[in-house]
């Protein structure tokens, strides 16, 4: 059987159009310029996924600095085109961000997901994310307008004695 490779590529000015096209297809929300500025600024935390040579998915993150100086990762979007779901692309994208976060000693990753999006909620739970809050009327143009805050705490390596 022919082996198809799933590979990840960074997002740059030259290919940011790929991310824009995916978002129009995948999400009912229009993302503003700040989304793309944040995504590019996050560096390796934002990736496109290729199935063979076709761009089929992406994860886009924003790095947030807390008052105490610690950085946390906010997953702005994670999506895979419908015909390519269930093939491990979403897993590859999320694992990439989890591994990168743990390498950089980041202890918290969180995101918002619409309360009726069972597929995505179950997907995140498989990776150890938990529902930590519910925000009523988070979205303005979609129904239901409510979202869950879904969070994963990464364990920090113990400091060497």
Catalytic positions, please? 74, 112
Residues 33-62, one symbol each (x = binds ligand ACO by CB under 6 A, - = not), give: ------------------------------
**Which of 119-129 are b and which e, b meaning 16 or more Cβ less than 10 Å from the residue's Cβ?**
ebbebbeeeeb
Using rule CB under 6 A, residue 115 touches ligand ACO: no
Minimum CB distance to ligand ACO smaller for 118 or for 156: 118
What is the helix (H) or strand (E) element at residue 83, kind and residue range?
none
Using rule CB under 6 A, residue 108 touches ligand ACO: no
**Dihedral Cα 141, 144, 148, 149, nearest 10 deg:** 0
Taking the complex as a whole, how short is the minimal distance between the CB of residue 45 and ligand ACO, in angstroms?
A: 13
**Window of 63-71, 79-87, 98-106, 152-160 that interacts with ligand ACO by CB under 6 A:** 79-87
Selected binder of ligand ACO within 26, 40, 55, 149 (CB under 6 A): 26
**Window of 35-43, 61-69, 74-82, 130-138 that interacts with ligand ACO by CB under 6 A:** 74-82
Task: Reduce the DSSP state of residue 128 to 3 states and report it.
Answer: coil
Report yes or no: 58 and 93 within 8 Å, Cβ to Cβ: yes
Token output for 85: 């779901």
In the block, tokens 């995504």 appear at 39
Using rule CB under 6 A, residue 77 touches ligand ACO: yes
The set of residues, in sequence order, having a beta carbon less than 8 Å from that of 24 and lying 6+ positions away, is none
Task: Return residues touching ligand ACO (CB under 6 A).
Answer: 26, 75, 77-80, 85-91, 111, 113, 117, 119-120, 123
């Amino acid at each position: 059987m022919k082996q198809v490779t799933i590979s990840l590529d960074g997002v740059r000015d030259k290919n940011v159009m790929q991310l824009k096209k995916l978002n129009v297809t995948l999400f009912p929300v229009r993302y503003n310029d700040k989304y793309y500025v944040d995504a590019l600024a996050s560096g390796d935390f934002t990736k496109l996924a290729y199935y063979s040579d076709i761009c089929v998915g992406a994860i886009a993150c924003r790095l947030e600095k807390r008052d105490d100086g610690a950085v946390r990762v906010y997953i702005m979007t994670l999506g895979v085109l419908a015909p390519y779901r269930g093939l491990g692309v979403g897993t590859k994208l999320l694992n990439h961000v989890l591994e990168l976060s743990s390498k950089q000693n980041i202890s918290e990753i969180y995101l918002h997901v619409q309360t009726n999006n069972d597929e995505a909620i179950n997907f995140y739970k498989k990776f150890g994310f938990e529902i930590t809050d519910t925000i009523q009327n988070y979205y303005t143009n979609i129904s239901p307008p409510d979202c869950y805050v879904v969070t994963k705490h990464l364990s920090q390596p113990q400091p060497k004695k």
